[in-house]
Amino acid sequence: MSYVNDAAQAVSKVRELSPLVHCITNYVTVNDCANAVLAIGASPIMADDIDEVEDITSIASALVINIGTLNRRTIDSAIWAGKKANELDIPVVFDPVGAGASGLRNETTKKILEEIKVSVIRGNLSELSFIAGLSSSTKGVDSSDADLDKDPVAVASAVANLYGCTAALTGKDDVITDGSRCVKLSNGTAMLSSVTGSGCLTSALLGAYIGAVGDGFIASCGAILTTSIAGEQAYERAASLGTGSFHMALIDYISLMNEETMLKYAKAEVIK
Amino acid sequence: MSYVNDAAQAVSKVRELSPLVHCITNYVTVNDCANAVLAIGASPIMADDIDEVEDITSIASALVINIGTLNRRTIDSAIWAGKKANELDIPVVFDPVGAGASGLRNETTKKILEEIKVSVIRGNLSELSFIAGLSSSTKGVDSSDADLDKDPVAVASAVANLYGCTAALTGKDDVITDGSRCVKLSNGTAMLSSVTGSGCLTSALLGAYIGAVGDGFIASCGAILTTSIAGEQAYERAASLGTGSFHMALIDYISLMNEETMLKYAKAEVIK
Amino acid sequence: MSYVNDAAQAVSKVRELSPLVHCITNYVTVNDCANAVLAIGASPIMADDIDEVEDITSIASALVINIGTLNRRTIDSAIWAGKKANELDIPVVFDPVGAGASGLRNETTKKILEEIKVSVIRGNLSELSFIAGLSSSTKGVDSSDADLDKDPVAVASAVANLYGCTAALTGKDDVITDGSRCVKLSNGTAMLSSVTGSGCLTSALLGAYIGAVGDGFIASCGAILTTSIAGEQAYERAASLGTGSFHMALIDYISLMNEETMLKYAKAEVIK
């Protein structure tokens, strides 16, 4: 399984290179994002003031833009940081949290995609359906039942083709495609939905992976397998204790993730 | 004990309906608030930009306004969101963190209560005393000793009568009243004061409960019993380990809360 | 070892006096800062709006300014709060997170040091080197290898002399000096670098200590020994589990810290 092999080698690469990841992200899950980036062996820097985002992006190996608690101030910062990243060929990961849920999120999502060339868009079926221009019914920031009958492969492919990027659609199964390659990943546990931030931290991890390996498709495989396999291991240890223990164990197993673990547990189906 | 029975049934109702709870809250405890809402089976959305709060409130089942780290930007957002909630008959929970501690908090508290019809005000004795117009000496965001000789029942009743809402006063004992009904709850542990956010997450839980059952008095009973009983259970498991473990165990036991547990452990004294 | 004795007695003093600590800090690690302040027995209040910072500082025993996620709004608030603190002789702790990493951080650091009289500056070698006016190469918010050949004692002494304050330089070894006194502390574990916020929470703890004992040099010894000894204990319990468990255990052991533990484990070398 060549994609999984490459993703597993990427874990070692992240730990070896320890890329600096600039995150412009929400204040709900920012601590988990920073700890996840550290747990996989990279180095996070959170900075969102327009007067410094260009400086910070310039010294980073990747930029992650997450609109979970967007506001006028941070939207402008994200745009500026993204343009600087494009100028310097620094990869940009975009997490369109709640796209479809409010006019502001919709406009911001469109604006970011118009003004910035992104390497990876990671979102759930609602968010990527909105981006694909398909009708989307969003209930808050989580996937809604109405999206469940849409085909994740079709949605992810549409997004990848429209924006010339990797689309990483996470859900019960995860679909990752850059147009030419496509894989379905089937790790994870429903308990990941019972703590806030598993999506956000996957996007932050994606910044670490793409900062180390460059390839957005392999980076997406690595980041998503990290969260979902660590989620399975956390479930084993902590499910009966409750969601607080699960949350902590999730970070634990991200910090223990390595090539061997990823190769041993990854469930992948290559579509093309 | 009919109030406790109703509160216990409300736990199941929250888990069945999974209401979307819009929180405009502080950045100190926001992660705990989101995780508590998820742990009780509801769905949180944190959004505070004035350009989207009306959209977000419109799709929510409850709005929670917490002024823990208020600023001019989020104060306006809270007011707008509250007015939209009133317009759509969506219940509003207000947590006046630190009311009495600064001019800005005092003005904001007054402004919110003047411009928005709130269903529940949850606070400690200092905060509710300030709201009741009684003299209040606040030491930061925690209850101060000077308040301890005030009568919680009198303070809560004054607040409920003044604003035609449920007043949920938390402290060593908790007093909940909507003017016609009044109950004193006696669960909890002093260790809840040694982690930040037990008040904030109770207010967030209140959003989940009121979103599911509508009745602010019963919602307050449910939310407060959830935190205080889970706190007792967390104390049993983790007190000797330290406050970090206690904090995690608190979320654990919220995620395990159900009708049986609430009925088994609730200590309630009906006042009227 | 008189400094260690004084620091150990300071633990009891913090628990006895429970000073109120006003923190203007970043949104990444703010929850850990609040929980650390509570864990050592003090009382945190996080407030950063310019319309209330003077009120809040006025009722506090110490002010902690941390520029981890600074922005124009909070920079002004920090300056106002600092001036009010100076006016009222309330000690100010300054954590120049990432000084050297962006123009904005550099200007802000300079501005704060020009306009506010600070009692303690706590930072890593990169940050304090920048402040000392020495050439500094900063990689994000962590110390970079290029700084490792600089002499921490020389850097800390330069900062202490330049600003007439205590310089608390944390790293593999920690150096604390106020010009007349100087000590090297050697507790801690590399795992403290694998969770975000150990520096920030040390600065927050410093607010608790200086609020209780006044002396910035002894407060720095107390705060740094608290984090580093608790870190060693957390490593013992949780290292094999992962960084999530370590993070939680760190807060646990801060909450259990007392005179005996500090005296038993402190590794200090008095330089003068």
Q: Tell whether B250 lies on the interface with A, counting CB pairs under 8 A.
A: yes
Q: What percent of chain A has pLDDT over 70?
A: 94
A142-201 per-position pLDDT tens digit: 555 555 558 999 999 999 999 999 999 999 999 999 999 999 999 999 999 999 999 999
pLDDT(B22) > 90: yes
What is the block-wise mean pLDDT of chain C (272 residues), using blocks of 10 residues?
Answer: 94 98 97 98 97 97 97 95 98 96 95 97 96 63 58 96 97 97 98 97 98 98 98 98 98 98 98 95
Q: Residue A6: is its pLDDT beyond 90?
A: yes
Whole-number pLDDT of residue C85: 98
pLDDT of residue B164 exceeding 70, the answer is yes
Q: What is the pLDDT of residue B136?
A: 47
Chain C residues whose CB is inside 8 A of the A52 CB are 70, 102-105
- pLDDT for the residue B239: 96
Q: Cα–Cα distance between B43 and B19 in angstroms, integer?
A: 6
**ipTM of this model?**
0.94
Q: In the prediction, which pLDDT does B135 show?
A: 45
Mutate to test the interface with C, among B25, B26, B27 (most CBs of C within 10 A): B27
Residue A246 has pLDDT above 50, yes or no: yes
pLDDT score of C135? 46
Establish if B46 touches chain A: CB-CB under 8 angstroms. Answer: yes
pLDDT digits (tens, 9 = 90+) for B233-264: 999 999 999 999 999 999 999 999 999 999 99
Taking CB atoms and an 8 Å cutoff, what residues of chain C touch B140? 20, 43-45, 56, 59-60
User: Chains A and C: how many Cβ contacts under 8 Å?
Assistant: 99
CA B196 to chain centre: 14
**Residue in the block written with tokens 């290559």:** A270
pLDDT over threshold 90, residue A59 = yes
Q: Over pLDDT 90: what percentage of chain B?
A: 92
User: Which chains form contacts with chain C, at 3 or more CB pairs under 8 Å?
Assistant: A, B
- Please state, in angstroms and rounded to a whole number, the distance separating the CA atoms of residues B194 and C255: 9
Contact (CB, 8 A) for B231 and B45:
no
Q: Which of C32, C72, C243 sits opposite A251 (nearest CB)?
A: C243
CB atoms C245 and A252 under 8 Å? yes
Residue B138: is its pLDDT beyond 70? no
Contact of B74 with chain C, judged by CB distance below 8 Å, is answered with: no
C13 interfaces chain A, CB cutoff of 8 Å:
no
What domains, with CATH codes, occur in chain B? 2-270 (3.40.1190.20)
Q: What is the pLDDT of residue B149?
A: 60
3-state secondary structure of C187: coil
Residue A177: exposure state from Cβ atoms within 10 A (0-12, 13-18, ≥19): buried
pLDDT > 70 fraction of chain B, expressed in percent and rounded: 94
**A68 vs B contacts (CB less than 8 Å):** 46
pLDDT beyond 60 at B144: no
Mean pLDDT of chain A, nearest integer: 94
Mean pLDDT for A258-270 is: 98
User: A31-44: buried (b, 16+ CB within 10 Å) or exposed (e) per residue?
Assistant: bbbbbbbbbbbbbb
Mean pLDDT in residue range A222-227? 98
Touching check for C191 and chain A: CB below 8 Å? no
With contact defined as beta carbons under 8 Å apart, do C255 and C39 qualify?
yes
